[in-house]
Chain A
Amino acid sequence: MTVLASPPAVPQTARRMRRRSRWTGWGFVGPFMAVFALVFLAPIAYSLWLSLFQTQLVGGTSFVGLDNYVRAFNDPQFWSGVGRVTLFLLVQVPVMLGISLLVALALDSGRLYGRDFFRLTIFLPYAVPGVVAALMWGFMYGERFGLVGNFNDLLGWNLPAPLTSSLVLPAIGNIVTWEFVGYNMLIFYSALRVVPASLYEAAEIDGAGPWRVISAIKLPAIRGALVIATIFSIIGSFQLFNEPSILQPLSPNYISTHYTPNLYAYSLSFSGQQYNYSATVAIIMGVLTMLVAYVVQLRGMRKEA
């Protein structure tokens, strides 16, 4: 917001008008600000407040200052969860965005038959609710009676069980990729559609091939969309919850109660009644996510400038 300093020589009436117009602005944003404060700021403030206390089953509530934060920073279960989602982020996000970009470029190339059909079918998984998707994949991953089991029986293969220790994270990555490729594809595709056709014509006149067009025109043109999609994906990875939570009953020994930070926060409050510590974990994760997303945004935007 820019606040203009009033020059000293402004007449009274003009000053009053300016003051009134300042309040008019608030009148317009007021309803939004009220709702924003109520549903966004208040819960965060309340979580912050909560994180300063400790409630015990025996002994009640006491003020503990920053003890919960100290505990979180020394909590191996919390950090193992953070490590897991970081690994997830580093592997799954590039794969997912890579596929999305490829599909978006293919659709945009104009060489694809049934473009609208492909666009719709690739986007379709995004329309399936995440919980349903995780359930569905959970069935397919079953090695005894699921799709994996059927393949093994039918073809005599020995596919490994996707819900065992080393494979459960890739299995989750697969679900998330399946769900969000279409969504990211749509972001990229819509960004590609607004590139002026005159640029392509100019490139053609200059004798640029399709790869040259992609690297010199299309990719730079959608850099903003790439950054946005990356930030969304980072937030999504750090907030990973639905998929492990749904698969947990199928694989309780491999998906622990602290598998991801969000799952940990959930277990803390709903199985352990540790609401205060849970709020602390949520806040630390929120700050961490914001930091990473902000760094990515800064870097992405600077290159663009």
Chain B
Amino acid sequence: MTIRHHRAVGAVAAAGALALALTACGSGSDDPGTAQEVSPQDVAAALEEGGELLVWAWEPTLDQVVEDFEAEYPNVDVELANVGTGNDHYVALQNAIGAGSGVPDVAQVEYYALPQFSIAGSLADLAPFGASELDGTYSPGTWNAVTDGDAVYGLPMDSGPMALFYNAKTFEEAGVEVPATWDEFLEAARAIHEHDENTYILADNGDAGFATSMIWQAGGHPFAVDGTDVTVDLADEGTAKFTELWQQLIDEDLLADVPGWSDEWFQGLGNGEIAALVTGAWMPANLESGAAQASGDWRVAPMPQWTEGANETAENGGSSLAITEASDKKALAYGFLEYANAGDGVATRLAGGNFPATLADLNDEEFLAEEPEYFGGQRINEVLSASATGVVEGWQYLPYQVYANSVFPDTVGQAYTGSTPLADGLAAWQESIVSYGNEQGFTVTE
């Protein structure tokens, strides 16, 4: 047991070493003014000349993309490394950037985490490489997420416009219509739980990504970021709409207390005890693999609306590929990015089950006409693509959203256990967000 202790101190010390190094090399990286224009010819030349490229990503469809890419550009050697998913990946990335060595040239970064790295000057602006010209190639929601003013910090890889995934069998048994509005959703939640006390319409025990997306759809703007000035208001009108609805769901015990992505969660999705999901368009592949026993039962419907007949949605999840500022092969890296996320790689990834961020593919006849068996032959991509066009504009994430999401269970999560009202939980979250931001040198106002 003493060994455990020593190891912990060592780890903390090592982590700290990286933090010091981060600041040591941070000074040289934040001068975007010196960035030179790089012509497509330069990128093509770099691809021809070749070299080694280190890519950190967990997206499984990239394996095939890398293989095809290397076949097309035989001089380029891409090393694709999976250093973890989500937070683990960001920790490793942050540490590598801090240490100034072993930094990948290209990294997968989810939309919500982009500001954290771009504001710290860790990501290269891709505009000088001609990325600005890709405006209009991607869905507005994803393009908005990777750009900051004129700067482009990544190329969208996939997207997660939200929709209502539901188990048609459970709905039918309970005699419930598919809800089109959130009011109807509340009614449906009651009816389903009343029909069978073990069945819930949703599983939610507090998920920061989901809650922020819900607030996004409701028209809330809890986070406003302008450089290092941050404004936080987790009680604005949009947020209040979400709070009011969810408080009722919690109070009436209509949400299954099952953590997302746990074994229990997948079992519930498979056996019909969790009747629906409101989540991003990347979900189908996960349902097919994780809840195979419910094949044929699931369907997709538009996300329930706050106003009847509207088409207002939000993004949930989705990630981009970005180039690190520390990379000394940016032209080559951009060549790979363009291939993977705007060129031939897109089709490869779609074939692997990715949901596209590119408009051309979102509107592609063949893509829309797909009728997956798992969803009973429903043309689900029509519903999901329609959602991509309705993403409410103007949403911003915090420049330290990764941290904020990590303390979500400490604060808002308490409301899901019934020990505090949701509005108070959000207020507590706001408090931690504000104090952390100010500690970290941002100017955070409420």
By a beta-carbon cutoff of 8 Å, the part of chain A in contact with chain B is: 39-40, 43-44, 46-47, 50, 53, 55-61, 139, 142, 144-146, 164-165, 232-233, 235-236, 239, 241-242, 249-254, 256-258, 262, 265, 267, 269-276, 278-279, 282, 286, 289
Binding-face segment, B14-22, B185-193, B231-239, B354-362: B14-22
Asked whether B16 lies within 8 Å of A40 as measured between CB atoms, the reply is no
Contact of B15 with A272 in the complex, beta carbons under 8 Å: no
**Can you name 19 A-B residue pairings with CB atoms under 8 Å?**
A40-B6, A43-B6, A50-B13, A56-B439, A57-B399, A58-B442, A60-B27, A61-B20, A236-B1, A241-B8, A249-B259, A253-B414, A253-B416, A257-B407, A270-B87, A270-B91, A275-B19, A278-B12, A278-B16
Report the minimum CB–CB distance from A253 to chain B (whole Å). 4
- Contact flag A145-B264 (CB < 8 Å), given A46-B16, A269-B16, A273-B19: yes
- Say yes or no for B111: interface residue by CB 8 A criterion: no
- Return the contact of B8 from the options A60, A236, A282 (Cβ within 8 A): A282
A99 to B258, CA, bound (A): 34
Q: Whole-angstrom distance from the CB of B174 to the nearest CB of chain A?
A: 19
Q: Which residues of A contact B403 (CB under 8 A)?
A: 271-273
| Residues 78 to 93 of chain B near chain A (Cβ within 8 Å) | 87, 91
Instruction: Tell me which residues across on chain A come within 8 A of B413, comparing CB atoms.
Output: 252-253
**CB–CB B441/A59 < 8 A:** yes
- B406–A267 CB distance below 8 A: yes
Interface of B is mostly: helix
**B:1-60 near A, CB below 8 Å:** 1-2, 4-6, 8-10, 12-20, 22-23, 26-27
The number of residues on chain B lying at the interface, defined by a beta carbon within 8 Å of a beta carbon of chain A, is: 54
Interface centre among A59, A165, A256, A269 (most CB of B within 10 A): A269
* B409 interface hit (Cβ, 8 Å): yes
Query: Are B5 and A286 closer than 8 Å at their CB atoms?
Result: yes
How far in angstroms is the closest Cβ of chain B from A302?
23
CB of B402 within 8 A of chain A? yes
Minimum C-beta distance from B92 to chain A (A): 10
- Residue B351 interfacial (CB < 8 Å): no
Q: How far is B440's CA from A278's CA once the two chains are assembled, in angstroms?
A: 14
Residues of A within 8 A of B441 (CB): 56-59
**Distance, CA A257 to CA B431, complexed state (A):** 16
Contacting residues, chain A, for B15 (C-beta < 8 A): 269-270, 275, 278
- The answer to whether the Cβ of B228 comes within 8 Å of any Cβ in the partner chain is yes
Write out the residue numbers on chain B whose beta carbons fall within 8 Å of the beta carbon of A43.
Answer: 6, 9-10, 13-14
CB pair A55 B442 closer than 8 Å: no
A239, B5: Cβ atoms closer than 8 Å: yes
A252 touches B19 (CB 8 A): no
In the assembled complex, the Cα of A275 lies from the Cα of B91 at a distance in Å of: 12
In the assembled complex, which residues on chain B have CB atoms less than 8 Å from the CB atom of A271? 87, 91, 402-403, 406-407
A50 and B16 in contact (CB under 8 A), knowing A256-B410, A267-B406, A282-B9? yes
Across chains A and B, the number of contacting residue pairs, with CB separation under 8 Å, is 144
Neighbouring B residues of A139 by C-beta, 8 Å: 263
**C-alpha gap A142/B263 in the complex (Å):** 10
Asked, given contacts A46-B17, A55-B23, A271-B403, whether A258 binds B440 with beta carbons under 8 Å apart, the answer is no
Indicate whether B417 reaches chain A with its CB closer than 8 angstroms: yes
Give the chain B neighbours of A232 by CB distance below 8 A: 1-2
> Are A262 and B258 in contact (CB-based, < 8 A)?
no
Complex CA distance for A253 and B418, rounded to whole angstroms: 11
A142–B14 Cα gap in the complex (Å)? 36
Docked-complex contact B442 and A57, CB < 8 angstroms: yes
Contacts of A289 in B (CB 8 A): 5
A47 contacts across to B, CB distance below 8 A: 9, 12-13, 16
CB pair A144–B264 under 8 Å, yes or no, is yes
User: Given A57-B120, A241-B4, A272-B406, does the pair A165, B417 have CB atoms closer than 8 Å?
Assistant: yes
Q: Which residues of A contact B419 (CB under 8 A)?
A: 165
Q: Are A235 and B406 in contact (CB-based, < 8 A)? A: no
Instruction: State whether A258 touches B1 (Cβ < 8 A).
Output: no
By beta carbon, the residue of chain A nearest B438 is: A56
Q: Which A residues are CB-close (under 8 A) to B8?
A: 239, 241, 262, 265, 282
For A273, the chain B residues whose CB sits under 8 A away are 19, 94, 403
Q: In the assembled complex, how far is the CB of residue A300 from the closest CB belonging to chain B, in whole angstroms?
A: 17
Which of A40, A46, A252 has the largest count of B CB atoms less than 10 A from its CB?
Answer: A252
Known: A236-B1, A278-B16. A253 touches B206 (CB 8 A): yes
- B263–A145 touching, CB < 8 Å: yes
Q: Given A47-B13, A271-B402, list of 17 further CB < 8 A pairs?
A: A40-B6, A47-B9, A47-B12, A50-B19, A55-B22, A58-B228, A58-B442, A60-B23, A139-B263, A164-B417, A257-B407, A258-B410, A269-B16, A271-B406, A275-B18, A278-B12, A279-B16
Which residues of B are found within 8 Å of A56, using beta-carbon distances? 439-441
